[in-house]
Amino acid sequence: MAPPTRPAGSAGSRPPAQGPGRVAHWTASPSLRLVGKRLLMAVPIVLGVSVLTFWVLDLIPGNAAQQLLGAEATPEQVAALSADLGLDRPAVVRYLDWLGGAVTGDLGTSLVSGQPVTPVIAERLAVTGELVALAFVASLGLAVPVALLAAYRPNRMFDRVSMLVSITGLSVANYVLALLLVLVFAVQLTMFPAIGFVPLSESVVGNLHAMVLPATAIAFPLFCFYTRFLRGDLVDQLQGEDYITTARAKGIGPWQVLLRHAFRNSSFGLITVVGLNLGTLLGGTVIVEQIFALPGMGQLMLQAINTRDATVVQACVVVFAVVAVLANLLADLLYAVLDPRIRYGSR
């Protein structure tokens, strides 16, 4: 929803604190302790999310049986199907039933189709995963060089233009962009397909061709955000940090200063932001998936909510939560790897 921000104590504005000058023993390594702690934390978080979802879903009127049968079903038909699907059991029983299976890796069977949920989720996750991955690669791949170039000569033409484009791009809703892309590139110019997904197993080229427009719709706002963020951070570094002044005083060339010093520090913030983004982006692709008819996770969850398929909703939510937690953890880990102050447990 709101743009992610750096967590407290993130890189940049403080001089390195005095810490132990030697390498600590690996079993006492703070980063490993961090990983362990966070993994442990992940369990109650995911559990909390799953309980909340189940409870919320139960509060919505209607159930899978009613949704399936539609508006012309008699109450008797609905009751019969509900009983068939096991929906007349109390909520706690249903939840524990699901939980029991989930813990052993079986995410249950769909209330609606009777098919096992895990393979469906795997398929859909692959699609959304690919979409998000492509979007990230494209947006970061462009954002980093653009931000570097912009920060190299702040307030010159390139900087101003790129910042302008970024802030303009951020002001366009991604669904508007998606619609625009389809109209121009798929219908008018027929350069790319308007809908559909080609599995990688069928054709790599076809797959990428079909993903260009949807990935662009998602990547462009991300690109704008990362460019602005990174450029802002780089400029902050270049102008405020003592170590930069030192480096310059030592005669290190401007590109070196930028890449080896400023960027290295700014990348922490960027990584954290990317990690936070990744977690929230999985569900955020719903509209783009709808417009391009991509069989992804966002669509699956939307369909599952609309058909009140509680098992599938639960499974999706748990997957999202796990991914979000893992993404954050990965970001924090990378952060620890890159920043010796954290690795060696200072401050």
Partner 1 sequence: MAVADAAAAPALAGTDAAGRHRRWLRTLEVAVPSAVIVLVVAACFLGPLVLPVPPPVGGSVLESYLPSFSPGHWLGTDPNGNDILSRILHGGRSSLVVAVAVNLLGLLAGGTLGALSGYVGGAVDTVIMRVLDVLIAFPSLVLTLAVAQSLGASRTNTILALAFFSIPAFARISRAATLRLREQPFMAAARLCGTPGWRVLLRHVGPNITPQLITFGMLGMGIVMVIEGALSFLGLGIPPPAPSWGNMIAQGQQSLSATPMLVVWPCAALFVTVLAFNLLGETLRARWSGR
Partner 2 sequence: MHEVSLLLAALLVLAGCGGGGGGGAGSAPAAPTGPPQRGGELTVLEDAAFAGSWPTGLDPATNTTGGANISMMYAIYGGLFQMRANDDGSNAEVVPHQAESYELLDEGRTVRITLREGLTFTDGTAFDAEAVAFNFRRAVDAPCTCSPTWPLAENGITTDGPRTVVLHFTRPFAAVINAFPVTNVNWIASPTALQEMGEEQFAITPVGAGPFTVVSNQLSSELVLERNPDYFEEGLPYLDRLTFQSIGGDQPAYQALLAGQAQAYEGLTTTPLLEQAQEGGRLNVTVQPATSPYVVQLNTAAAPFDDQRAREAIYAATNFQAISQGLFRGMYPVSQMFTGPGGLFHHETVEGYPPYDLERARQLVSELGGLTVNLGTLGSYVAEQVMTALQTQWQEAGITVHIESYELSTLVQEFNSGEWQAMLQTAGAWDPAAGVGVAFRFSSDSPFTGVHDPELDTLLQQAAASLDPAERDRLYLQAGEHIARNAYAPFGLAFAPANLATEGVYGPGLTTKIPPIVVNSPILWDEVWRVQE
Q: Which is nearer to partner 2, 65 or 333 (CB)?
A: 65
Determine the Cα–Cα distance for residues 209 and 193; give it in Å rounded to an integer: 8
Query: What is the largest distance, in Å, between two alpha-carbon atoms of the chain?
Result: 84
Residue 163, interface with partner 1 (CB under 8 A)? yes
- In 110-263 the beta strands, taken as DSSP E runs, fall at none
Listed ranges 89-97, 207-215, 233-241, 256-264: which one lies at the site for partner 1 (CB under 8 A):
233-241
Contact 1, 330 (CB under 8 A): no
Helices (H), 86-116: 91-103
Q: 71 is written with which tokens? A: 């508006």
- Residues recorded for the chain: 347
Name which of 284, 299, 291, 297 is nearest 186 in CA terms. Answer: 291
Beta-carbon contacts of residue 144 (< 8 Å; ≥ 6 apart): 226, 230
Q: Which is nearer to partner 1, 203 or 256 (CB)?
A: 256
- Residue 109 main-chain phi, psi, to 5 deg: -115, 145
With CB under 5 to 8 Å by kind, the binding choice for 320 among partner 2, partner 1, none is partner 1
Determine the 3-state secondary structure of 116 from DSSP.
strand
Determine the Cα–Cα distance for residues 98 and 311; give it in Å rounded to an integer: 7
Residue 155, interface with partner 2 (CB under 8 A)? no
The conformation of residue 113, written as its DSSP 8-state character, comes to: T
CB of 308 to partner 1, least distance (A): 10
Q: What angle do CA 210, 130, 228 make, to 5 degrees?
A: 95
Among 122, 183, 200, 259, binds partner 2 (CB under 8 A): 183
Residue 96, interface with partner 1 (CB under 8 A)? no
Query: Residue 230, Cβ neighbours under 10 Å: how many?
Result: 24
Determine the 3-state secondary structure of 328 from DSSP.
helix
Residue 3, interface with partner 1 (CB under 8 A)? yes
Residue 184, interface with partner 2 (CB under 8 A)? yes
With CB under 5 to 8 Å by kind, the binding choice for 67 among partner 1, partner 2, none is partner 2
CB of 208 to partner 1, least distance (A): 26
With CB under 5 to 8 Å by kind, the binding choice for 165 among partner 2, partner 1, none is partner 2
Residues 76-135 that bind partner 2 (CB under 8 A): 77, 80-81, 84, 110, 112-115, 123
Determine the Cα–Cα distance for residues 83 and 101; give it in Å rounded to an integer: 21
Q: Which is nearer to partner 2, 124 or 261 (CB)?
A: 124
Residue 309, interface with partner 2 (CB under 8 A)? yes
Q: Which is nearer to partner 1, 24 or 173 (CB)?
A: 173
Q: 65 is written with which tokens? A: 């049986």
Give residue for tokens 């669509």: 299
Residues 53-82 that bind partner 2 (CB under 8 A): 60-63, 65-75, 77, 80-81
CB of 286 to partner 2, least distance (A): 11
Q: What angle do CA 103, 104, 105 make, to 5 degrees?
A: 90
Residues 192-231 that bind partner 1 (CB under 8 A): 228
Which amino acid is residue 58, in one-letter code?
A: D
Q: Using CB under 8 A, list all residues that contact partner 2.
A: 60-63, 65-75, 77, 80-81, 84, 110, 112-115, 123, 164-165, 168, 172, 180, 182-184, 186-188, 190, 193-196, 290-293, 295, 303, 307-309
- Chain residues in the site for partner 1 (CB under 8 A): 1-10, 41, 44-46, 48-49, 52-53, 56-57, 59-62, 154-155, 160, 163, 167-168, 170-173, 175-176, 179, 183, 187, 228, 232, 235-236, 239-240, 279-280, 282-283, 286-287, 290, 298, 301-302, 305-306, 313, 316-317, 320-321, 324-325
